Amino acid sequence: MRTETRRIIKKLLRNPSAVLGFSLLIFFAIVAIFAPLICPPQSYDPYMIPIVTWDKTPQPPAEGHPFGVIDGRDIFYGVVWGTRTAFKVGLIVTLVSTLIGLIIGSIAGYFGGWLDEILMRITDIFLSIPYILAAIVVTAFLGMGLDKVMISLTVFGWMATARLIRGNILQVREEQYVLAARALGVNDYLVILRHVLPNTIFPVVIQATMRIGSLVITAAALSFLGLGAPVGYADWGALLNFARNWLLGASGEAFKYWYAIVYPGTAMVLFVLAWNLVGDALRDVFDPRLRG
C-alpha cells in the first residue's frame, strides 16, 4: 500500500498540470477557511457584502478596497467570501447528485431486466431536457435564492453519474468475485457496496471532480441573470451582475471599469481550472489504460 501511495504521489509531482491544479485548489481552500480573518464580517450574515458607499458608480482599487468598489460594495470582500460560496455550491451539489446517480445506476446495472429499462428511460427523459434551461425554469419556479439554485442543479445533475456507473457495473457484475459472493448468499445490496462499487467507482470520482467547476459556472450564470444569489450576496456571478451596466466602460474609455469584471472573473476561471486540472490528474493516475 505504501509503495502504491508513493507511486501515485511521484506521478502527481511529475505532472506540472497536477501540481498547478492542486496548488490552486489549496490556495482557494485557504482563502475560504480564513475568510473571516481576511475580511472580517460586518453584519449578522457574513455572506452579505457590506455597503461602503451609496455612490453606485464603480470606484477603482484604493486603500481599504484593493479590488475596487461596485454598486457601493467592496469587490475584495465579495471575491473572498464568494470562494466559500463556490465551494458550498460545488461540493454539496456534486455530492448529492452523485449519490443519487450512484443509487439509480447501481440498481439498474446490477439487477438489469425491466428495472434497468425503467430507470434508464427515466434517465433518458431527464437527459433530453437542456440542462441550463431546466435549471433556469426550476429556479424561477422555486424563487430566488442560492438554495433554490442548488436544488435545481441537483435535480438535473445526476444522470451522467447514473449512466457511467451502470456501464461500469455491467462490465464487472459477471466477474468471479461477484458471482462467488452471490453464490455464498450475500445480500445483493451488500455485494454492490462491498464488491461492485469499490471496483467501479473511480471513474465516477474523477467525473464528479471535473463537474464541480462546471456547476460553479452554472450557478454563477444564474446569479448573473438575477435568478441565483440575492442582491448583495457574496457570489462571483452576483458581482458580475453588478458590473453588467459598466461592461462597456465610459465614453472613449472602454476599459475604465476593468476591475469590476477582471477580479471576480479571474477568481471564477482559476477555480474552475483548478478542479479540471485535478480531475485530469486523478484520471491519469487511476485510469489503468493511462498508467505507465
Instruction: Find residue 233's DSSP bridge partners.
Output: 48
Domain contains 11: no
* Radius of gyration for the chain, computed over Cα atoms and rounded to the nearest angstrom: 23
% of the chain surpassing 90 pLDDT? 28
Does 200 have pLDDT greater than 80?
yes
Domain contains 198: yes
| 241 Cα distance to chain centroid | 20
For residue 137, the domain's CATH number is 1.10.3720.10
Does 100 have pLDDT greater than 90?
yes
Which residue's entry shows cell 441537483? 154
Domain contains 284: yes
Q: Which of 53, 58, 84 is nearest to 70 (CA)?
A: 58
Domain total for the chain?
1
The confidence band for 2, taking pLDDT boundaries of 50, 70 and 90, is low
Q: Measure the CA dihedral 104/106/107/111, to 10°.
A: 150
Domain contains 20: no
Position 209, amino acid: T
Query: Using an 8 Å Cβ cutoff, are 204 and 166 in contact?
Result: no
Range of the domain at 31: 27-290
Domain contains 143: yes
Domain contains 10: no
Q: For residue 34, what pLDDT is reported?
A: 95
Domain contains 2: no
The confidence band for 251, taking pLDDT boundaries of 50, 70 and 90, is low
Query: Using an 8 Å Cβ cutoff, are 187 and 205 in contact?
Result: no
Average pLDDT of the chain to the nearest whole number: 85
Q: pLDDT tens digit string along 19-45?
A: 899 999 999 999 999 999 999 988 788
Q: pLDDT tens digit string along 114-141?
A: 898 999 999 999 888 888 888 888 887 8
pTM over 0.85: yes
Domain contains 15: no
Identify the residue with better confidence: 88 or 176.
Answer: 88
Query: Using an 8 Å Cβ cutoff, are 238 and 73 in contact?
Result: no
